[in-house]
Structure 1
């Protein structure tokens, strides 16, 4: 059969059009996070790896500088209908998101998009922090940590201390001897570290931060800092500061406590296990150091420490394709390879039992740069969680934490009596809680 010239031309033209048409563009979706510096760089590496691993989605990852700023920017963006698909919310902002009705539960997201994840594989202390009372996980565990204490082991040997201090009385003894031995900064101290100095201290000593099981029992919880052991501990911190055994190291002094330790300026500091990678990277040559669980008061039995860090929340108001991308990204994060990479380059703990066991079996924690990080797991699993150590469910908790920072500063710098300062803190904290309760007065905790 002879083909008509016009038909042949049309077919040829169509062939050219289809041949030159670009491939379908990848679906873009946004991920906002609250980390900066080296940790921000690692997240950017993660995002590049995800984008390179497939061609359907492109994640755009943007630092909002810090946790508080990201929380506030996320809220403002949601109200303006300009929210990202995924946002990283730190531990203190968990209840604010839980009651916001602004998110899609991660279990639902993954199921709706055809992914099967063994949620029971996540460490119970991690999963329960971001779950409902019925056990439904609402957000994806991401960068999980807990508070530790770091020691310059050469300084310990110089003063004749064998091993690592296990109690605060031993820390005091070490600090006094180090000062006498010529170390000008025995302990680098940042008053902004309310997370480790107040919250984690309370958890491992089984002390309430607030009534109603730290808020798990209802929105009518009240602050209880002035009624527990933290009165004694803050009194001790003030004494250590006055005697120059604790030396302020923060942005205002030009060198934060972690960097002062890595530089050999300070011989101890308390911070997140997530700082382990940064200390390793920044440590001066021949700095010998180790990390341990937070010390205890004499005579007390340790309970588990609190999980810190943040989780990833999927926000409402986005397209089905963007949610497919978010689910693919979460599935990427859950792979053993990615879990190990993230823990290796940051210091954050693996959030699953299988991930931890695989890394342990492979000898990860025997290698010099990573040795000691397993102690964070031991701290988080030191006991069955109690109502004082399972977590914190207090509304507007970032504001309450900021009030504790002011409280510590008032005691150290303005000589406000500890009992008065903590009573004032409880009163201010209760004002914040009542405002939150009024906002969600008919809400029932999930």
Structure 2
């Protein structure tokens, strides 16, 4: 196996483009986290041979940087404990490093001292940066070296992290957005609670019928991820050159006709006062939904358990696929969340140990526990054969919607997901455009045209920098 030495290919200017210090670049899952905990897992001490004998070899230490806080952090620590107790030759130390942006910034700062991790969790929109950094050993090398079977990995999940036929990282926490709706309010409005709206027009009609008696039909957070997903559901790419997968993206397509029509539909709901504009935070729309103030919302599948539990005793939660412009629109959802990357500035033995941990996390039983404790998708189809997953689906039947939506997604470069080095900033620019359209500062087309131009300009600067 070829293990490359650390090399940071991106100059500081490019790194600053894609690693904003604030957390507002966002990710589909951090809004579902509780208070952060920075306590690392306990690392086992080297074992010793019987008295008088030669001391046994110390276990290989793997430092894993992650961004799972609150209950998610506890679930991650449980996985580490399970691995450490069954793998005495490798001991993993999990270290919470803040948001995804903060963790990446810390990794960048550690590059010279080699004080960084063996393994790092990176959100999906950081993938292009990780590849361009030259700082990683693609997991494909480990897969090929031992003939590791990837056949049971969810193809629509694995596909996001595969570039040019090579898998660079292993998916870990995976989600996508679905429509949540209040079945009780649907009944009260004379709507069939078992037939949720599937198209833009059906959502508009339902929102109108639901807006009464102090209730507003819907509220969707101003979140760039939602626009990306609504386009993918139509089979539309976000950037050119095969969504940045055939070759490096050079142009944003966020002002294409499908995007204009989508934002006009969304703005129409707000203008008609059948949808509330509560800003950029999904936490705010979630709170309004759980309070019974809005009847429909969009949110990550990772938040499903929290939403269903939060509504318990108040109303029944329904779930549905992401709406599309028309029933015959072909496309699918793009996976959100994060994956695990092996860093190449560590000894070969340490990288191999990180790979052993990655394989453990991908096992069906491990994924089953991760899924039922967090709400994230299992990354392997075999996890659905585990009894705890079957029992969980009985308790939370709404999750079947998320599974069905993932499996129904038509494979394409659109559903595989866009890749670009300035993705976090691009997402924020789209959010700003949506706000400008909602407030009337610009019309929809002009807002998206301006956003597309700014994103394209930033892509050009990034591409020029990394090519040096």
TM-score (ref. length: structure 1): 0.85
Residues 297-344 of structure 1 deviation map (CA, whole Å, 9 limit, x = unaligned): 135423121111111000111234432431221121122111111111
**Cα separation, 2, equivalents of 1:285 and 1:324:** 49
What residue number does 1:218 align with? 247
Q: Gaps (5+ residues) in structure 1?
A: 1-15
Q: Gaps (5+ residues) in structure 2?
A: 1-48
How far 1:43 moved relative to its partner? Answer: 1.5
Give the greater-gyration-radius structure (CA): 1
What residue number does 1:341 align with? 369
1:328 to 328, 331, 356: 356
What residue number does 1:8 align with? none
Residues 2-53 of structure 1 deviation map (CA, whole Å, 9 limit, x = unaligned): xxxxxxxxxxxxxx99459987654332211233333223222222322233
Q: Secondary structure at the match of 1:301?
A: coil
What residue number does 2:174 align with? 144
What residue number does 2:266 align with? 237
Say if 1:278 and 1:322 are closer, same or farther in 2 by CA, change over 3 A: farther
2:114 to 81, 84, 101: 81
What residue number does 2:322 align with? 294
Residues 190-211 of structure 1 deviation map (CA, whole Å, 9 limit, x = unaligned): 21x2112x11111111122122
**Cα separation, 2, equivalents of 1:179 and 1:326:** 52
How far 1:141 moved relative to its partner? Answer: 1.3
Q: Secondary structure at the match of 2:206?
A: helix
What residue number does 1:7 align with? none
Range that drifts further, 89-98 or 241-250: 241-250
C-alpha RMSD of matched pairs (Å):
2.7
What residue number does 2:456 align with? 430
What residue number does 1:169 align with? 201
Matches within 5 A, 1:369-384: 369=396, 371-384=397-410
Q: Secondary structure at the match of 1:78?
A: coil
**Cα separation, 1, equivalents of 2:132 and 2:345:** 17
TM-score (ref. length: structure 2): 0.81
How far 1:383 moved relative to its partner? Answer: 4.8
Q: Secondary structure at the match of 1:31?
A: strand
Say if 1:168 and 1:35 are closer, same or farther in 2 by CA, change over 3 A: farther
Q: Secondary structure at the match of 2:412?
A: coil
**Cα separation, 2, equivalents of 1:342 and 1:220:** 34
What residue number does 1:41 align with? 74
1:157 to 173, 187, 211: 187
What residue number does 1:66 align with? 99
- The question of whether the paired residues in 2 share the 8 Å contact of 1:205 and 1:301 is answered with yes
Say if 1:141 and 1:54 are closer, same or farther in 2 by CA, change over 3 A: same
1:352 aligned onto 2:380: yes
What residue number does 2:390 align with? 363
**Cα separation, 2, equivalents of 1:382 and 1:360:** 23
Range that drifts further, 275-284 or 344-353: 275-284
2:413 to 387, 390, 393: 387
1:398 aligned onto 2:432: no
Q: Secondary structure at the match of 2:395?
A: coil
Q: Secondary structure at the match of 1:363?
A: helix
**Cα separation, 2, equivalents of 1:61 and 1:251:** 31
1:277 to 284, 305, 329: 305
Say if 1:173 and 1:211 are closer, same or farther in 2 by CA, change over 3 A: same
**Cα separation, 1, equivalents of 2:78 and 2:291:** 26
What residue number does 1:9 align with? none
- Aligned residues between the structures: 418
Q: Secondary structure at the match of 1:268?
A: strand
What residue number does 1:206 align with? 235
